[in-house]
Amino acid sequence: MAYDSDNIFAKILRGEIPSEKLYEDENTYVFMDIMPRANGHCLVIPKAPARNMLDATPDQLAACLATVQKMGHAVMKAFGADGVTVQQFNEAAGGQEVFHLHYHVLPRHEGKALRAPGQMADFDVLKSQADQIRAAL
């Protein structure tokens, strides 16, 4: 399947729609998920186009995973988490909804389930959680 440069994350990378940015480097960009399934739920994406893991280059995957690890440490510290869940979906049948490669980074607390998907965040709360993560980086 071809990469569609009109996907939402491509628009975020171009600055055409806003995002709550947490971190960026030469190859990756990190921002808050607007429908967080846990406090501090963030998304790591490559700056260069890739639809998902299946068409990404090994360098893109390596860059993303290095940033995922960095964000894992940051969200653990920011929220006093006990663990981190990393999710990554490929194609609609694999659960993917936005077709630009992304990794979900979810801080986890012992015994606490993820929230149901599809619930929009309160933007003031999202921003204050982003401040906590930025401070932990």
Q: Is-catalytic flag, 102?
A: yes
Q: Phi and psi for 73 in degrees, rounded to 5?
A: -65, -40
Question: Does 23 help bind ligand 5GP (rule: CB under 6 A)?
Answer: no
Facing residues of 84 across strands? 107
Q: How far is the CB of 85 from ligand 5GP (least distance, A)?
A: 13
Interacting residue with ligand 5GP among 31, 40, 53, 74 (CB under 6 A):
31
C-beta nearest to ligand 5GP: residue = 35
Closest residue by Cα to residue 13 from 100, 89, 127: 100
Question: Does 1 help bind ligand 5GP (rule: CB under 6 A)?
Answer: no
Q: How far apart are CA 124 and CA 46, in angstroms?
A: 26
Three-state DSSP at 21 gives strand
Q: What residue ranges bind ligand 5GP (CB under 6 A)?
A: 8, 19, 31-35, 89, 95-98, 102
